[in-house]
Structure 1
Amino acid sequence: MASTFFEKLILLSLFLLVSPLLAKAVSPWKTQLHSSPTAKIQAEKLIRGLNLFPRHAANEGVNEDLTNEPSKIVEKQFKFPVIDAPGPSIQNFAHHAGYYKLPHSKSARMFYFFFESRNSKKDPVVIWLTGGPGCSSELALFYENGPFHLAKNLSLLWNDYGWDKASNILFVDQPIGTGFSYTSDDTDIRHDENGVSNDLYDFLQAFFKQHPQYVKNDFYITGESYAGHYIPAFAIRVHQGNKAKRGIHINLKGFAIGNGLTNPEIQYQAYPDFALNSSLISQSDYVNIKKLVPSCVQAIKSCGSDGGDSCVDSYEICNNVFNQILRIAGTVNYYDIRKQCEGDMCYDFSDVETFLNLKSVREALGVGDIDFVSCSSVVYEAMLMDWMRNFEVGIPSLLEDGIKVLIYAGEYDLICNWLGET
């Protein structure tokens, strides 16, 4: 079963390789964490509006105040409105959206979508994590491997390459502060993979408690870009929980990383060579940029040994290598060097923000008045001390214990290029 799913995953991934690896950019403009003075009131409205009970029809809420319930999944089935339909027509999906109150937090709620397989409920359960850090998994949902794509007129189109054709798939907004996930207390913001992976593990335990029919299904962790950090750390956390026989046993079979940032010390050294081989820079440019690499490598080593501010310093030193290439390459799209960069993030994601902020859509999902933002610079900056950490080191032990690994990369991605992953 495990190998069969990976074969399907490789085929479906071919579609993604010609799609923008969209979630690696950080928004250059500041976004405020969902912690305004009215956040608590909004949260209470949000929780009360969700449907916990199957006897209620999709999109109907219940008037039960669950804000004081500790560490509980609050989930509802939903139907998305079809925006271009002349009447009250809807796209009907047997799918779910919900919040999970994180137990090791003051007031954090993690948002997720869950789409049941179009094929069989016995298909593997897959979790998708978009990178950034701080970019919402809804970007992948609507532009990459979700059940449908979002058209320019905001109508929904079936995605023939959606991973829900071969899996029961979760899209999670994480770390806290990403997408629809929120908190009213800034101390809930995570700064490293220890906090991120523990939150995801707690969520997964609650999810399988809510959906016990999927506990025995094969389970895979997938994602792209900065998920090259998230995924190995999360896989290790799940594997440790299983070995310690704590909570629900999660049937982890493998994980897949697309154009991921996993070992920065190796990957940052590959930038000049990839840029030269791709004709983005000249030979003389290459020689000058290569001179910046040793200080980057040393800074990363210092981050690994000293931590703290040295990790922020290494981020600034090493990104000078990448920025020098962009200065020469001009407006090239660093996710697909065959294209030109358009807009602040090289792609325009305003349609998904418009769609998810529509009143009818927010009501369908039960997210109240919380605004959706594609990428949070607050979360991005909070994770700077994590950026230059090496998460390749934990993978060999997972392989030795029989956990399968798939690493795939798009040929024309500069920012997390294939050369640095080989």
Structure 2
Amino acid sequence: MARAWMGMLAVLLFAVSFYKGSCVPVQAKEEWGYVDVRDGAHMFWWLYYANSSSASYKDLPLVMWLQGGPGGSSCGFGNFEEIGPLDRDLKPRETSWLRAASVLFVDNPVGTGYSYTDTEDALTKDVAMVASDMMVLLKSFFSLKTEFQSIPFYIFSESYGGKMAAAISLELTKAVQAGSIKCNFAGVALGDSWISPIDSVMTWGPYLYSTSLLDDNGLDEVTTAAKAVLEAVKQGQYQKATDLWSITENVVEQNTNGVNFYNILTQDSDEMVKTSSDQTNGFLSSLKRRHIRPLHRQSLSELMNGPIRQKLGVIPKNVTWGGQAEAVFESMAGDFMKPVVDIVDQLLAAGVNVTVYNGQLDLIVDTMGQEFWVKQLKWDGLQYFNKMKWTALEDPQTQSQTGAFYKTYKNFAFYWILKAGHMVHNILFCTNFNVCKTLFNIVIFR
């Protein structure tokens, strides 16, 4: 493990080239396209080949990145705001993962980002449908890009993307075993993931109280609202639970002077706050303000619907990047609060490498809630995992400063990332970015 940390910053440094005559600087080798995953459902993917001076892409892993929401664009936010070769201003990103891996961004579920459906009836309703669609895409991708069939393939995810990643990983494991998809699936990383929603909601109050962001009265109000969500979940009323979840967020905001759900120590930027231009009300308005706009800010939308759209040249004229984002969430609302802890259990039982990592300053998926669902696992290694003490990891650029803690047993690992928010890989939400930007290497080489 210590060797994996040594030189990680150097591994992530890279240089990108520029196409002459183009207003969009790009990575030297990249490909993109659409896959029709169902009638009327079209999914967009964007592949960047690893760009390393010391190794061929064939000697480096392939990573698929899945964004949250549901409705957040991997090809937009994950690419230009977190780990892709260029940032939102089209400047080279020194912390891109491309020096260490090839990266496949997928706008998932259909209707997200550049992915689109012909009618709203074709939008996905649950993670089972999401996983089914992704199997079609991955089968097409690995059949088209046969050079990647033997390369270790990892799925990395963030937020609701982790819930989808768990379901996708299980179906992929079955497909590989059945021989219907040819790939070398090596593991899944669940970052600040919506695995057990109710465990997150039920710990919002205690977490905020422990960080002095709620007083006694506020704690009582948040707890009361959260218990209403819990009761709906217990009764299997998941659509109602989603509505009550949104109400609980309102209660949290009212009692904390508008805490940032993605990083409790970071104020919302001007692009993220609600403005008079919002035309929707109630549930969808709150959704857009808190969980869609941070992933589809105005400047990013202008980039994706302007120069990037022009560069790609395959986006249908009637498709606006992010245009169906709210419809995607609304279509998935009945599935939103359902847990997938049992799926993680099945992955562990099947021998799949599973890594959980979480930012200390995240509220929406707070670490306390993550720890609760992990303790619910039926995995036969859990009792040994629980008895272990965690190990400290130093910040690779600041000696004698702890950047994270971790525990790992057999095919399961948990990383507590200090000073990081919900979007561990985005510098806006990660105060301790020196640690956050090395997480890829930790998971791949652990």
Whether 1:121 and 2:54 are equivalent positions in the alignment is no
**In structure 1, how many angstroms separate the alpha carbons of the residues matched to 2:197 and 2:252?**
17
Counting only pairs closer than 5 Å after superposition, residues 222-237 of structure 1 correspond to structure 2 as 222-237=156-171
Residues 353, 374 of structure 1: 8 Å contact kept:
no
Q: Does 1:327 align with 2:254?
A: yes
Cα RMSD after superposing both structures: 2.7
> For residues 269 and 205 of structure 1, what CA distance do their matches in structure 2 show?
39
**Counterpart check, 1:410 vs 2:364:** no
| Aligned mates of 1:230, 1:223 — CA distance in 2 | 8
Q: Deviations over 1:207-246 (max 9, x none)?
A: 0000001101111111111112101100111011123x14
Q: Quick check: 2:116–2:324 contact (8 Å CA) kept in 1?
A: no
Specify whether residues 90 and 130 from structure 1 end up closer, same or farther in structure 2 by C-alpha distance, changes over 3 A only. Answer: closer
- Deviation digits for residues 308-340 of structure 1 (CA, Å, limit 9, x no counterpart): xx2101112233333211111123322112122
What is the aligned counterpart of 1:136 among 73, 87, 90?
73
Alpha-carbon spacing, 1:181–1:81, altered in 2? closer, same or farther (3 Å)? farther
Name which of 280, 287, 302 aligns with 2:220. Answer: 287
Identical aligned residues as a percent: 25
Q: CA separation in 1, counterparts of 2:348 and 2:69?
A: 26
Q: Per-residue CA shift, 1:374-411, capped at 9, x if unaligned?
A: 77110010000111111111112222322111111112
How far is 1:270 from its partner? 0.7
Counterpart Cα distance in 2 of 1:337 and 1:188: 37
TM-score of the two chains, using structure 2 as the length reference: 0.70
**Structure 1 gaps, min length 5:** 16-78, 304-309
Distance 1:4 1:127 in 2: 26
Q: Judging by fraction of residues, say which structure has more helix.
A: 2
- Answering whether residue 251 of structure 2 is matched by residue 302 of structure 1, we say no
Q: CA deviation at 1:361?
A: 4.1
Corresponding residue number in structure 1 for 2:35 = 100
Q: Distance in 1 between matches of 2:233 and 2:308?
A: 47
| Contact 2:83 2:97 (C-alpha < 8 Å) held by counterparts | yes
User: Cα–Cα, structure 1 residues 282 and 173, in superposed 2: closer, same or farther, change >3 Å?
Assistant: same
1:248-296 deviations in Å (ceiling 9; x for gaps)? 2332111111111111232211110111112221022213322333332
> Which structure is richer in relative contact order (CA contacts within 8 A, separation 6 or more)?
1
Question: In the alignment, is residue 204 of structure 1 matched against residue 138 of structure 2?
Answer: yes
CA distance in 1, matches of 2:310, 2:161: 27
CA distance in 1, matches of 2:78, 2:207: 26
**Is residue 2:169 matched to residue 1:169?**
no
Partner of 1:269: 202
Q: How do 1:5-404 and structure 2 match up within 5 A?
A: 90-91=25-26, 93-102=28-37, 105-119=38-52, 120-122=56-58, 123-137=60-74, 138-151=76-89, 156-243=90-177, 245-303=178-236, 310-342=237-269, 343-344=273-274, 345=289, 347=294, 349-358=297-306, 361-369=309-317, 370-373=319-322, 376-404=325-353
Q: Distance in 1 between matches of 2:131 and 2:2?
A: 27
Cα deviation per residue 1:79-121 (whole Å; 9 max; x = unaligned)? 9879xx8x8685452001111111xx22221111100011232
Contact 2:138 2:181 in 1 (8 A): no
Change (3 A) 1:189 1:358: same
Give the conservation status (yes or no) of the 8 Å contact 1:81–1:360. Answer: no
Q: Does the Cα contact within 8 Å between 2:190 and 2:356 map onto a contact in 1? A: yes
- Aligned equivalents of 1:336, 1:241: Cα separation in 2: 37
Task: Name the CA distance, whole Å, in 2 between partners of 1:101 and 1:4.
Answer: 44
Question: What is the DSSP-based 3-state SS (H/G/I as helix, E as strand, rest coil) of the residue aligned with 1:403?
Answer: coil
1:393 aligns to what SS in structure 2? Answer: helix
8 A Cα contact 1:265 1:297, kept in partner: yes
CA distance in 1, matches of 2:98, 2:86: 10
Give, in angstroms, the shift of residue 360 of structure 1.
Answer: 6.8
How many angstroms does 1:352 deviate by?
A: 1.7
Q: Distance in 1 between matches of 2:18 and 2:44?
A: 16
8 Å contact kept, 1:80–1:361: no
Gaps of 5+ in 2: 275-288, 372-446
Q: Secondary structure at the match of 2:340?
A: coil
Residues 282 and 405 of structure 1: is their aligned pair in 2 closer, same or farther, counting only changes over 3 Å? Answer: same
Contact 2:209 2:219 in 1 (8 A): yes
Task: Please say if residues 51 and 98 of structure 2, whose CA atoms lie closer than 8 Å, have aligned partners that are also in contact.
Answer: yes
CA change 1:170–1:365 in 2 (3 A) is farther
Q: How many residues align?
A: 337
TM-score normalised per structure 1: 0.74
Q: In the aligned structure 2, how far is the partner of 1:234 from the partner of 1:209? A: 18
- The structure-2 alpha-carbon separation of the partners of 1:379 and 1:419, relative to structure 1 and needing over 3 Å to count, comes to same
Partners of 1:191 and 1:298 lie apart in 2 by: 22
